[in-house]
Amino acid sequence: MNEREKILCPVCQVSFILKEPKEAGRAIVCPVCGAVLVMVQEGTVWSLTRPAHLSLEEEIHQRVDNFARLRGYHFNEMKEAVVKGLLSKNQRFGDFYCPCRIDNIPENICPCLFTRQGDVEKNGKCHCGLYWK
């Protein structure tokens, strides 16, 4: 991968240009969803993976905090309740699906596709009320 090639985020499934130097084990924050990821090299191929050293609670807290910081959003008093819902969905269904959506599909992994595509700007908050403008 040259310096201007894109790399795929395994959380939001969006490719982005990696600005940091390639280094195995380096922590990267996805600029699209805020997920903390780790660089992995297999031969000449570079990829990103979720860090094994983080607990599920640390992973989702870092992701929601990073996403809010990247977008300039804030949280209301329900943040911890929504995070608990995300953790519950992860335990039941294997990922951090929005607790307010019925379908546990990739588009509903927090931050969900609708939030990443501008729901907060349009409505002042995301569907579940985690992110506010």
The verdict on 60 and 119 lying in the same domain is yes
19 lies in the same domain as 60: no
Contacts with 110 (C-beta within 8 Å, 6 or more apart), sequence order: 60, 63, 64, 86, 96, 97, 98, 130
Structural domain includes residue 1 = no
Same domain membership, residue 102 and residue 67: yes
pLDDT greater than 60 at residue 2: no
pLDDT band at 3 (very low <50, low <70, confident <90, very high): low
Q: pLDDT tens digit string along 7-49?
A: 999 999 999 998 888 889 999 999 999 999 999 999 989 999 9
The verdict on residue 131 lying in a domain is: no
Domain boundary among 49, 67, 83: 49
- In a domain, residue 23? The reply is yes
pLDDT in the model for residue 1: 45
pLDDT at 18: 87
Task: Answer yes or no: is 36 within a domain.
Answer: yes
CA distance 55 to 110: 16
Q: Which domain holds residue 43?
A: 6-49
Same domain, 73 and 44: no
pTM for this model (two decimals): 0.90
Cα angle 71, 26, 109; round to 5: 45
Q: Which amino acid is at 6?
A: K
* For residue 65, pLDDT beyond 90: yes
Per residue in 67-94, pLDDT (tens digit) is 999 999 999 899 999 999 999 999 999 9
